[in-house]
Every structure is written in structure tokens, then in C-alpha cells.
Amino acid sequence: MTGPAANLCSADERSGSPGHPLDNLVHKALTGPHAHLAQRRGRALRYPLDVAGYVALPHPPAERDWADLAALAGPGTLVALAGIANRPPIGWDVVSHNAGVQMIDHGLAAAPDAEAVRLTAADVPDMLALVASTKPGPFLPRTIAMGTYLGIRSNGRLIAMAGERLHPPGWTEISAVCTAADFRGRGLATRLVHAIAHQIRQRGETPFLHAAASNTHAIRLYERLGFQLRQRTDFAIARVPTQPSIVQPHQ
């Protein structure tokens, strides 16, 4: 499934049906292409702590699923919840809640870029430094295990990068798009988004991404690049309860 036609969702998909891979996308990723990264307890799943903070449950989750997630993550731990799985039960402390938009490829001018190089584990220190200075979103020491990351260097310095993060079946999220402050305005981020989108399409998959609902500048930019809004979504950071009565082991 490639190109703009591949991104035209059915009526059920547009309605936000939980069956669509992008609705409960962390669970779909950890039970699909990212299953090799999944840590599991019962039906609760999470990424390793140095890869991503996301956790996942099936939809709809049962009380036991929340108990297994609490035991898997550990009492008092902060976890990231996305989409339809971001409403924890009583006893979980939601410390932040952010509205976002989910946008899908609808005519991206995807193309490889001769200057973009594939980043490896050896590049992670430079990637972490670029992320720290530009703040595109979470990026941890082993986030690179989630997919391919491309970068552009100038005189050996990493000045721009973008890569693949969440990977539900048939779809790949473009993430960590950032450019060093003194190299902005040169179209580097756009080139890298096009290059990442090209490799995603080459696999027969569809690119998508997320942006904060309040970041209207980024949303307009992504629309100009060829993304369209699929749905509004939510992200939450919650603290696992510490009460033993809530954290019950999986039977």
C-alpha cells in the first residue's frame, strides 16, 4: 500500500473505530512489528525504559490489565499513555494530559536525499545532543531501535535528523524531526521528512505523525508537506499507584 491512495481511510476507519491500527497504535506496534521490543505481563505491554516510555493495553482494558500494567511498570513509575488507552482508572495519578493531532500521508513528495545518512548506535551521543538543544519530543539512548533514523551533517556536526518511531502494522510514525537552530530555514527538516517517507513507502507502508494540537505552526507546515488530519488524539503521563491493593499480580 503506497502513495496518496493508500491513505484514504474507510468510513469505519475515519470514525475512530478501535479496530484501526492508529487508534490503539502502541498496542498494535508492540503486538506487531515491535513485538521483539515488548516487555509483557499478562496483556499489558511496554517498551524498555531506554527505548520509549509508552505502555499499552488491549481495548477495552479489563481491571486485571491495569493491575498487570501497574506490576509491569512498578509502583510510582511514570508511564506514557496514548490514544484510546490514555484514561487510567481511579488510583492512577495523571500528571499531564496533552491534546494532539494525528496526521497521515496524503500526497507527500517523498524522495530519497543524497545528503541524508543512516544514523547508527555510534551516532546516538550526537543525536541526544541535537534533541536536547531542539526539543522535538522524547528521544532516549535506545530509541533508535524503533526504526531507521536519517541525519544530515555539516563539517562532521549533526545538524538535522528525523526517524521512525511507533510502527503499527502497515503504518510508520515519523518522529524526532529537528534542525539545529543555526541551520533552520534551509529546508533540511522537509528533506528528511521526504526521505523518511520514501523509505516507509518503499516497504509498502504509510507514513503518519503526531503534533501538539496547540502547535498550529507545525500543523500548517505538515499540511503544506502533504499530511492531512486523520483524528484528534490525546497523550497522558500517569503515575502508577503505590497502593498494594491496586497492584495485584497476574494470575
Domain ranges of the chain: 11-100+234-239, 103-231
Burial environment of residue 166 by CB neighbours within 10 A (0 to 12, 13 to 18, 19 or more): buried
Model pLDDT, residue 14: 34
Are the C-beta atoms of residues 161 and 152 closer than 8 Å to each other?
yes
For CA atoms 228, 234, 237, 242, the dihedral sign is negative
Place of cell 509502583: 75
Q: What is the pLDDT along the chain (251 residues), one digit of tens a residue?
A: 333 333 333 333 333 345 799 999 999 999 999 999 999 999 999 999 999 999 999 999 999 999 999 999 999 999 999 976 667 888 899 999 899 999 999 999 999 999 999 999 999 999 999 999 999 989 999 999 999 999 999 999 999 999 999 999 999 999 999 999 999 999 999 999 999 999 999 999 999 999 999 999 999 999 999 999 999 999 999 999 987 555 444 44
The CA distance from 1 to 202, in Å, is: 9
pLDDT at 158: 98
The pTM of this model reads 0.88
The pLDDT assigned to 161 comes to: 98
* pLDDT attached to residue 244: 55
The pLDDT score that the predictor gives to residue 3 is 35
Q: Convert 9-44 to b/e letters by CB count within 10 Å (16 or more is b).
A: eeeebeeeeeebbbbbbbbbbbbbbbeebbeebbbb
Per CATH, is 11-100+234-239 categorized as 3.10.290.10?
A: no
User: What pLDDT sits at residue 84?
Assistant: 65
Indicate if the alpha-carbon torsion angle 53, 190, 196, 181 is positive or negative: negative
Q: All 3 cell numbers of residue 231?
A: 483524528
pLDDT of residue 88: 87
Alpha-carbon distance 206 to 36, whole Å? 21
Distance CA 42, CA 207 (A): 31
Residue at grid coordinates 518511531 = 165
Question: 41: which residues sit within 8 A by CB, 6+ positions away?
Answer: 68, 69, 71, 72, 250
Task: Give the type of residue at 48.
Answer: P
Contact 218, 212 (CB under 8 A): yes
State the DSSP code for 149. Answer: E
Q: Which class is 103-231 in CATH?
A: alpha beta
